[in-house]
Amino acid sequence: MIRLTPLAAALLSGCNYAYPAPPSRPAAPSAFTRAPAALAAATPAQVALGRALFHDTRLSGDGSLSCASCHQPELGFGDGRATGVGIGGTKLKRHTPGLWNVGFAPALFVDGRAATLEEQALMPVANPDEMGADPAKVAARLAADPAMRARFAAAFPGGPAVTPATMARAIAAYERTMVSGAAPFDRWAAGSAGSMAPAAVRGYALFAGRAGCARCHNGWALSDGKYHDVGLPDTDPGRGAITGRRRDDHAFRTPSLREIGRAPPYMHDGSLPSLAAVVDHYADGVVARRGAPARVALTAAERRDLVAFLEALDSDAVVH
């Protein structure tokens, strides 16, 4: 077993537009396994209602799509496609992101255009290319269903129950239950030496050390929550379209890496089909562009080790 020395430099978080040099020694595993802050409380009735709404096709304009149509639990809350498909078969421009641990994200969508889960929840519903519905009309449709009206009243007593706001609160409450359990990495970090294969242990040392992955993939969720240019050769302005700042062009929010093996393909455009392809991209494929990271020299064996570590971030968590 490799003995690792703590090094706070590995967890530098101020790398929005410039990537600092990787640390000379990898950070201790505890830097990635400390329990995150508690999420906002919700009642069981609110969570159950949110789950029902998440799977309800009445949230789309033509009744053909639910949130779960694109965020499928068995696919890591993604859809397995390179880019999403919306109402009427509309081809979307970006990859459908997974939702594991989404409650811990400081902003939502890969460009950060929503500040909270409640704000995010109905944006796809109202988007004409995604679910193509009017949230107010959806609320009226649900209110006409006596069983659904009773569920809303139980979840939100004492006020107008079926509204876009209560719909959003319920969906957000359900999404906050999508939290990872302990992964092999967590068990290894806690002292169970056999919980990760030797290749994954070597991959961790690279990830938290020379390869520099932990500069942006840090903390419990293995995400700094910030925006970075990952060097893909596409024209999507990313965060720049939200802020209007040129320095934000091509920058996207760092995704959590927990459960990362569950939801291929990868990147905001879904262009990389496997974790091996992601590692190859950072070694060989990063485009030369101001703000993009430098390529990382990795041997074939080191690339395999990094993939083994990333696969050790998947837990046995099951969302009910």
Please provide residue 240's backbone torsions phi and psi, each rounded to the nearest 5 degrees.
Answer: -60, -30
Q: How far is residue 99's CA from residue 122's CA, in Å, rounded to a whole number?
A: 15
Sequence-separated (6 or more) residues with CB below 8 Å from residue 214: 10, 11, 23, 26, 27, 31, 32, 207, 208, 222
Burial of residue 74, with CB atoms counted within 10 A of its CB: 0-12 exposed, 13-18 middle, 19 or more buried = exposed
Burial 78-103 (b: 16+ CB within 10 A, else e): bbeebbbbbbeeeebebbbbbbbbbb
Q: If 0-12 CB within 10 Å is exposed, 13-18 middle and 19+ buried, where does residue 62 land?
A: exposed
Are the C-beta atoms of 264 and 72 separated by less than 8 Å?
Answer: no
Give the burial string for 10-49 (b: 16+ CB within 10 Å, else e).
bbbeebbeebeebbebbbbbebbbeeeeebeebeebbbbb
- Give me the helix-helix angle, 198-207 and 300-311, nearest 10°: 100
- Kindly list the distances between the CA atom of residue 190 and the CA atoms of 151, 160, 197, 314, in Å, as whole numbers in the listed order: 42, 48, 15, 16
* Active-site residue, from 74, 118, 119, 130: 130
For residue 302, indicate whether it is catalytic.
no
Rg (CA), the chain: 20
CB-CB contact of 16 with 227 (8 Å): yes
Q: Which residues are catalytic?
A: 130
